[in-house]
Structure 1
Amino acid sequence: MSRLQALRSLPNNEIVGRSSRADTIARAAADALRLELDTYPKPGLVSPIDSGSHADMDAETFRNSSAAITPFFRDLALAGAAGATMPALRRIGLDAEAAMRAATGGVNTHRGAIFGLGLLCVAAGALARPSAGALGALVRERYGAAILDGTVLLHAPGAWVRRRHGVGGAPVEAASGFPSLYRVGLPALRRARRVRPGDDGASRVEACLALIAHLEDTNLLHRGGPEGLAFARAEAARFIAAGGVARSDWRARAEALHRAFVARNLSPGGAADLLAMTLFVDAIEARP
């Protein structure tokens, strides 16, 4: 039975309920992507202020991409509600990537978000009232093995870097239930909110820098090799250890770090994807 046939077999009120929840989930995913884009300064990454280390994309490219892929987050939420298998999810993801490339002229803006944020949308669709940690746990338990056994895009930069440097990257992060999100991203986001109440931009910068310090980001390895990754992680860790956004000069320090990343052509795209996922989980899951 297909996902559409399964939904048609449900009572009308349940179909309406699932459809409404899928709309809510897709809006939350779109909001998370918008907030990630609007965050500044985040080192080397695109924002409305500048294009960071990227010559082939800007904020408008990301906005167009986000608009194109948002309907597929709704499809993924409905697929999660129907208990879809990983091959079905991959088909939706490939359609989303095609829509992204059509909207951006072939530029890869959101492949990582389609994968990671998409899986979290699947989990959100499957759970009516997700408790703290529930989205990641569902992805790990229901899809973890299939994520690691699935088709690998052998010519994608991330896959090449994972093979060359022996790092797990996004597939291992997702199959493990997004531990970096729950152990690093969310705690940093919420810690910074307590330090700077009302300044959500500051809390997003803190979460982004904490994730950069933690991750073996394949985007950084692709652009800067092991030396670039080591520089990025060390500088981000120094920012956090020195007080992060709790310091009065945090913005100037973060802007200086942004310039240093751009000078080295570094862009921590994996951290950017996980920041968006962190914001999504923060909006969807119940607080502990």
Structure 2
Amino acid sequence: MNAVANVLRPCVDSARLGRLAVGALHAELALAPKPGLVTPFDPGSHDDMDAGTFLRSLFALRHYFRDIALAGAEDAPFSALCTLGIQAEAAMLRATGGINTHRGAVFSIGLLVAAAARCRSMRQPVSGEQVCLGVQHWSPGLLAAPLDPDSPGQRVRARHRIAGVREQAAAGYPMLRGLALPTLRDALAAGLPREAALCHTLMALVAELDDINLLHRGGAEGLHWARAQAAAFMAEGGAFAAGWRARLQQLGEAFVARRLSPGGSADLLACSVFLLQQEAV
């Protein structure tokens, strides 16, 4: 019976899903202005990385996203996905000289790629929202996986008592389903150019997300300040308002002065790009 079921499953283009994942991360890197984040034009609030560092990391990760798509299509257990993620993180660190450029993306986009492939193999809907919910297939393994209590991210989560990316994933990425995807879809449907729509979505995320990177760099005060600035930008119309680019560039200078970088929001933006693009595959 299982053999028959496998024969009936549609062929999943794992290589294409992998390319879309890399393309989504490249789209996030290429986007500007992005307050505090690395762009092709400046390193933002970072002293240890630039666009070249990110490109080397992306090149090192290109096979990982294809491989995790294959694993998802085969309904691999979470332990297998975790092994692929650990190997990918090691490859990233070798390529960047030990600099963490894409650890969050290895986790989140990796899981979403696996879920997108599994949805296809199971003949399930592949809307971005459904793919997010598909990650819940691995929730037991996600929640049971051990955490490193000495990692910077885990120390921040424990200190401020907030959910991390693991909890977001186990819940089916509610911030993606409820905020990022609708914001990006609506902005594009309203006629915003792609770059403007992505900046608009990024700032919507910064305004709402308990961004671990902001907490790590600026504490609760830094997170509150960043969220308030992003909320004000959105209240003024975001990227729909005239002169939005100049205002966002000015806001970026303020982020850099405070050494703040909303890396968690940037990861979710890249996830949103992947989720929309994979719908057409």
Same-fold call, TM cutoff 0.5? yes
Counterpart AA for 1:24: R
TM-score computed with the length of structure 1 as normaliser = 0.91
Q: Secondary structure at the match of 1:79?
A: helix
Instruction: Choose the corresponding residue for 1:45, options 37, 51, 56.
Output: 37
Counterpart AA for 2:234: I
Once the two structures are superposed, residues 187-216 of structure 1 have per-residue CA deviations (whole angstroms, 9 ceiling, x without a partner) of: 22122224444x211011001000011100
**8 A contact 2:29–2:40 mirrored in 1:** yes
Counterpart AA for 1:71: H
Residue of structure 1 in register with 2:24 after alignment: 32
Moved over 4 A (4+): none
Between the aligned partners of 1:191 and 1:276, the Cα distance in structure 2 is: 17
Between the aligned partners of 2:228 and 2:240, the Cα distance in structure 1 is: 19
Once the two structures are superposed, residues 17-75 of structure 1 have per-residue CA deviations (whole angstroms, 9 ceiling, x without a partner) of: 34xx1101001001100000011111100010100000000001001101111201111
Residue of structure 2 in register with 1:75 after alignment: 67
Name whichever of 276-285 and 223-232 sits farther off: 276-285
Residue of structure 1 in register with 2:76 after alignment: 84
Q: Secondary structure at the match of 1:133?
A: helix
2:9 maps to 1:23:
no
Residue of structure 2 in register with 1:131 after alignment: 127
Between the aligned partners of 1:158 and 1:147, the Cα distance in structure 2 is: 16
Residue of structure 1 in register with 2:174 after alignment: 179
**8 A contact 1:134–1:285 mirrored in 2:** no
**8 A contact 1:196–1:246 mirrored in 2:** no
Counterpart AA for 2:115: A
Instruction: Choose the corresponding residue for 2:215, options 212, 221, 243.
Output: 221
Q: Secondary structure at the match of 2:268?
A: helix
Between the aligned partners of 1:279 and 1:33, the Cα distance in structure 2 is: 8
**8 A contact 1:72–1:92 mirrored in 2:** yes
**8 A contact 2:92–2:102 mirrored in 1:** yes
Which consecutive unaligned segments of at least 5 residues does structure 1 have? 1-5
Residue 14 of structure 1 and its aligned partner are, at CA, apart by 7.4
Between the aligned partners of 2:85 and 2:228, the Cα distance in structure 1 is: 34
Which consecutive unaligned segments of at least 5 residues does structure 2 have? none
Between the aligned partners of 1:179 and 1:14, the Cα distance in structure 2 is: 29
Between the aligned partners of 2:58 and 2:148, the Cα distance in structure 1 is: 22
Residue of structure 2 in register with 1:165 after alignment: 160
**8 A contact 2:38–2:44 mirrored in 1:** yes
Q: Secondary structure at the match of 2:43?
A: coil
**8 A contact 2:208–2:227 mirrored in 1:** yes
TM-score computed with the length of structure 2 as normaliser = 0.93
Once the two structures are superposed, residues 212-234 of structure 1 have per-residue CA deviations (whole angstroms, 9 ceiling, x without a partner) of: 11100111000000000000001
Residue of structure 2 in register with 1:3 after alignment: none
Residue 169 of structure 1 and its aligned partner are, at CA, apart by 1.6
